Structure 1
Amino acid sequence: MATSLSVSAGNFDDLAAARNAMTGDYVPSADEPYMGPEQLEFFRNLLVEWKQSILDISAGTLQNLQDGPIREPDLNDRASSETDWGIELRTRDRQRKLISKIDSALRRIDEGEYGYCEVTGEPIGLGRLIARPIATMTVEAQEAHERREKISRDD
């Protein structure tokens, strides 16, 4: 299923475009076997398209960095440009980490582990996976994990 996907640089976490692109022919349903072949292929395509859109955006950023002015004559313009590039580079770093999570999800699909909580082994659920295809835990396990993190940070 070849689809084109464009996700804006400032809103790469928004999967609405990816979901809209993927739901044309097939939508996972609770009426079919959980993580059956069609569902796995749907999520594989969603993840691959998402990763490709991030890589495309990153290539554009690299090109902009190469083409952009090295030094602005005005100090205020220079400070503004450096701030903009700093934000852009932090965003790209977040996207680099996101690509790692996407690759991990693709590996889980290949190994037959995708869609199941890494803590409890329970199904994560179609709704959560459609909203966040890189999820590794059920909502309950994630909430418990975050509570433990908060408690350890408070100590």
Structure 2
Amino acid sequence: MPNKETAKVATATTLGALGIAPYKEEDGEEYMNESQVAHFRAILEAWKKQLMEEVDRTVTHMKDEAANFPDPVDRASQEEEFSIELRTRDRERKLLKKIGKSITAIDEEDYGYCESCGVEIGIRRLEARPTATLCIDCKTLDEIKEKHVNR
């Protein structure tokens, strides 16, 4: 289970890559108030934009780099490179769906609450994993159950 230090590093990495500062909570602040919702919408929109730019770069790269190499080793290297890039884009496509669901949850005022038990997921957890749908307790239980099923 992640500790607080790991969560801080993950949050800094996620937000730093997007150029967004961590949210500073104020004492007595209501959970998922307007400024928090705006903060998470900005994170999700920036992340979505970044991923879409990567898709465009991939398409351009594959068009520009596609060549019919006479040497089978060169051709195999290029095909492997394209295969890895396409697998990465497929994972990102799935992530884009999750981001879309999170934005929909914001619109429906359901964002930030555990799908399983309904408790607050928490600001730091959402900053580390903006598409989180489970609180840390439910996620931990989910992972334990998954581990037992896959044995």
**TM interval, short-chain normalised:** 0.7 to 0.9
When residues 118 and 87 of structure 1 are mapped into structure 2, their CA distance, relative to the original with a 3 A threshold, is: same
Q: How do 1:140-151 residues align onto structure 2 when only pairs under 5 Å count?
A: 140-151=137-148
Q: Which of 102, 106, 109 in structure 1 is aligned with 2:103?
A: 106
- The corresponding residue for 1:46 is 43
Runs of 4+ off more than 2 Å:
none
Return the alpha-carbon distance in structure 1 between the equivalents of residues 52 and 105 of structure 2.
Answer: 21
- The corresponding residue for 1:9 is none
Asked if the contact 1:28–1:39 (Cα under 8 Å) also holds between the matched residues in 2, the reply is: no
- The corresponding residue for 2:10 is none
Return the alpha-carbon distance in structure 2 between the equivalents of residues 125 and 99 of structure 1.
Answer: 22
| 2:82 is aligned with 1:85 | yes
Q: Which has the higher contact order (CA 8 A, sep 6+)?
A: 2
Asked if the contact 1:51–1:102 (Cα under 8 Å) also holds between the matched residues in 2, the reply is: yes
| 2:58 is aligned with 1:27 | no
Q: CA RMSD in A?
A: 1.4
- The corresponding residue for 1:3 is none
- The corresponding residue for 2:54 is 57
TM-score, structure 2 normalization: 0.86
Q: Which of 91, 95, 106 in structure 1 is aligned with 2:92?
A: 95
For residues 3-28 of structure 1, what are the alpha-carbon distances to aligned partners after superposition, in whole Å with 9 as ceiling and x for unaligned? xxxxxxxxxxx52312xx222xx724
Deviation at residue 149 of structure 1 after TM alignment: 1.3
Q: Which of 61, 64, 67 in structure 2 is aligned with 1:67?
A: 64
Deviation at residue 82 of structure 1 after TM alignment: 0.7
Deviation at residue 70 of structure 1 after TM alignment: 3.0
For residues 39-66 of structure 1, what are the alpha-carbon distances to aligned partners after superposition, in whole Å with 9 as ceiling and x for unaligned? 0000001100100000001101011111
Deviation at residue 152 of structure 1 after TM alignment: 1.4
How many residue pairs get aligned? The number is 137
Letter in 2 for 1:89: L
Matched-pair identity in %: 39
Deviation at residue 69 of structure 1 after TM alignment: 2.6
Return the alpha-carbon distance in structure 2 between the equivalents of residues 30 and 79 of structure 1.
Answer: 56
Answer with 75-84 or 98-107: which moved more: 75-84
- The corresponding residue for 1:134 is 131
